[in-house]
Amino acid sequence: MNVLWIFAHPERRSLNGALRDHGLATLRGLGHPVRQSDLYAMGWNPLVTPADHRHDPRERFRVGAASERAHATGALSADIRAEHDKIAWADALVLQFPLWWYGMPAILKGWFDRVFVQGFAFGVTDGQGRTRRYGDGGLAGRRALVVTTAGARPTGLGPRGVHGDTAQLLFPLLHGTLWYTGMRVLPPLLIPGADRAGPADHAGAAAALDRRLRGLPTDPPLPYRTEAGGDYDDDLVLRPDLAPGRTDLGVHLTTPT
C-alpha cells in the first residue's frame, strides 16, 4: 500500500516525533512506499483565505463555492494541489497528532479545512446524481488510521471516563471527515500518559504502533453506518427501527437533553 503519513507536532524530539520515525521505518520494512506531510516542518498555512482560490476580494467570499470553482479550474494554491497529489497517490492515510483540547492541533485542522475541498473530497455524485458520502465519496478506496497521544490516563478517556471516550471525542474527524469522504476508518490508536512517558512507555507505544501498522491493510474498520445503505430517511435521520449502536458514550449529562 502507498501510505501518506500526516504529522502535526511542533517538536521532532518529542514522543510523537520518535513514534513517527519508528512508524515510517516499520512501514518501509513492510515494503510499503511512504510519503509524508510534516506540517510544522513544511510551514503549513492552516488558514482558509480568498487567496487560496484566486478569489476577487471585491466579491463576497463564499468558501464552499469559491473552493469548488478553484478546484475545478486548477486555480487552487500550489500547496493545496500538492496535498491532493499525495492523497491521490495514497492507499492509506496515517494521521498523527497530540490531542490538544480533545482535538487536532490547529495546523492539522487547517489541513482539512484547506485540502478537503468540494469536488475533491466531497460533493461528488454517483451515476444517479446522488451525493456520495458517509462510506462513499471522493476519497473512497482508502484506509485511514488516527494515532494520537494524550497527557491523560487511559481510563479517563474510556467509555465512562471523565474526558469522554476517544472515539467519541474524535467523532468529528473519524466519522464526520474521514468516513464522510469515503475512507475506511480504523479504530484510533490512543497513546495515553504521554506527559509522564519513560523509556518503557516509549517502547510499549512503539510496539502498539507496529501492531496497528502491520494491520493497516487488513484490520476491520469501524462499523459506521452507510448513507447509501438506506439507514437514514429523507431528513437524514436514522430510521426508527435502528439502534444508534452506542449507549455508553460518557457525555455525562445529569439529565437527558
Choices 25-33, 82-90, 96-104, 202-210; region in contact with a copy of itself by CB under 8 A: 96-104
Q: Which residue has cell 479517563? A: 156
- Between residue 39 and residue 68, which ones bind a copy of itself under the rule CB under 8 A? 40, 46-50, 60-64
* 3-class DSSP assignment, residue 27: helix
Of 199, 230, 236, 241, the residue at the interface with a copy of itself (CB under 8 A) is: 236
DSSP for 68-119 reads HHHHHTT-S-HHHHHHHHHHHH-SEEEEEEE-BTTB--HHHHHHHHHHS-BT
Looking at 74, 198, 223, 230, which residue binds a copy of itself (CB under 8 A)?
A: 223
> Is 227 near a copy of itself (CB under 8 A)?
yes
In whole angstroms, what is the distance from residue 55 CA to residue 70 CA?
Answer: 8
Residue 24 has φ and ψ, to the nearest 5°, of -65, -40
199 binds a copy of itself (CB under 8 A): no
Among 116, 149, 185, 197, binds a copy of itself (CB under 8 A): 116
Q: Per-residue string for binding with a copy of itself, 1-40, x by CB under 8 A?
A: ---------xx-xx-------------------------x
Q: Which is nearer to a copy of itself, 34 or 142 (CB)?
A: 142
With a CB cutoff of 8 Å and minimum separation 6, the contacts of 68 are 117, 118, 119, 123
256 binds a copy of itself (CB under 8 A): yes
Residue 111 CA from chain centroid, whole number: 10
Query: Rounded to the nearest whole angstrom, what is the least distance from the CB of residue 21 to a copy of itself in the complex?
Result: 15
